Amino acid sequence: MKRALVGDIGGTNARFALWENDRMHSVKVYQTADYTSPEQAIDAYLNDHDLARGALGSVCLAVAGPVDGDAFRFTNNHWRLSRQAFCKTLQVDELLLINDFSAMALGMTRLQPGEFREVCAGQAEAVRPAVVIGPGTGLGVGTLLSLGEGRWMALPGEGGHVDLPVGNAREAAIRQQIEREIGHVSAETVLSGGGLLRLYQAICLLDGHRAVLQTPAAITEAALAGEPLACSVIEQFCRFLGRVAGNNVLTLGARGGVYIVGGVIPRFAELFLNSGFAECFADKGCMSGYFKGVPVWLVTAEFSGLLGAGVALQQKQA
């Protein structure tokens, strides 16, 4: 039987692994900027593992953006893909494309002890939806549903592009400052790697500070070192994330819990755990009591999207 390959392709990184016997192995990460197409990156992966074209029976790629039809254009990088051309070029029998946060949601079903931390205590209701949300290159939002008997459904969506919610005059001023610069302010405009820098710059303009930090990494490093302005930016970032996550819980009735994923939050995990996230998460006026007992976890597992792609492929072939 031919091997299967799973991939998790974001704006910056493309992660690939082999999937055999319900297990993932041989993970390798490539920079999307180094390749002109997913086919070229997968060719590099095959070469690195002494595999030839035609060695793969099935491929499942988790991709950022809505999936429909033969052609797909990646949201946060320069790649494009045609399903038919992909299968012909790599001599693949089957290509399954799924939304990256559908894969991330399915990956939550394979979490192991030590791969998540409690943010808000509670008890997940197994028959209710769970929210999976994560700032990275963009802001991904997915929904996980249990179908019973060990099967799962992940609902795709573009929840990162909802309007950025505000809960007080300060947040309204921040949003207005950003709107003056770029127009429409989505949640992803702030809640992403680039959004962290945009938030810093907006706060500097509002408060009369000189914006000396030039990258999200520099802001994070300064905050971890205790620099007050950078700390206030990280705090506001976490509070906005709490509001967006809480909105999703109300919309979906997501008493199955909330998983915080992505590459941004784990970089300042302790600041996040001690931030106003939980306060803003449940700051919903007359509906604030709804959040009692809804658990929230910070996921630290490295390759949940890849695992979720494997789960999707396995469920399709079952």
122 and 46 assigned to the same domain: no
Q: Is 8 annotated as a binding residue?
A: yes
A 10 A CB-CB count for 152 gives 18
Residue 44: predicted pLDDT: 97
- Is residue 178 in some structural domain? yes
Cα–Cα distance measured from residue 244 to residue 256, given in angstroms and rounded to the nearest whole number = 17
Same domain, 192 and 135: yes
Output the pLDDT for position 1.
57
Asked if 24 and 18 touch (Cβ cutoff 8 Å), the reply is: yes
The span from the first CA to the last CA of the chain, in angstroms, equals 15
User: Are both 261 and 307 inside the same structural domain?
Assistant: no
Distance CA 161, CA 91 (A): 36
**CA angle, corner 10, sides to 237 and 139, nearest 5?**
25
Co-location of 150 and 295 in the same domain: yes
Give the model's pLDDT for residue 156. 77
Residues 74 and 207 in one domain: no
Q: Is residue 131 part of a domain?
A: yes
Position 157 scores a pLDDT of 81
CATH of residue 182: 3.40.367.20
Q: Is 110 contained in some domain? A: no
Q: Quick one: pLDDT at residue 101?
A: 86
Question: Do 155 and 273 share a domain, yes or no?
Answer: yes
221 found inside a domain: yes
Tokens at 177, concatenated? 């400052």
| Residues 52 and 162 reside in one and the same domain | no
User: Which ranges in the chain belong to alpha helices (H)?
Assistant: 38-48, 83-90, 100-107, 169-182, 187-190, 193-207, 216-224, 228-252, 269-273, 277-281, 304-317
Structure confidence at residue 200 (pLDDT) = 98
- What pLDDT is attached to residue 68? 80
User: Does residue 100 share a domain with residue 138?
Assistant: no
Number of domains in the chain: 2
Tell me, yes or no, whether 111 lies in a domain: no
Based on the domain organization, do 312 and 286 belong to the same domain? no
Does 9 show up as a binding residue in the annotation? yes
pLDDT at 236: 98
The verdict on 36 and 137 lying in the same domain is no
pLDDT of residue 118: 97
User: 11: annotated binding-site residue?
Assistant: yes
Identity of the amino acid at 10? G
CATH code, domain carrying 52: 3.30.420.40
Q: Give the residue numbers spanning the domain of 13.
A: 3-105+303-317
Asked if residue 77 and residue 153 are part of one domain, the reply reads no
The answer to whether 65 is a known ligand-binding residue is no
**Is the domain of 87 the same as that of 216?**
no
Hey, what are 252's tokens? Answer: 């979906």
Q: pLDDT tens-digit profile of 235-245?
A: 999 999 999 99
Cβ proximity of 6 and 19 under 8 Å? yes
The structure tokens 């491929």 sit at: 59
* pLDDT-flagged residues of the chain (< 70): 1, 318
d(CA 234, CA 213) in angstroms, rounded, equals 13
- Residue 72 and residue 80 in contact, taking contact as beta carbons nearer than 8 Å: yes
Residue 20 falls inside a structural domain = yes
User: Is 208 flagged in the annotation as binding?
Assistant: no
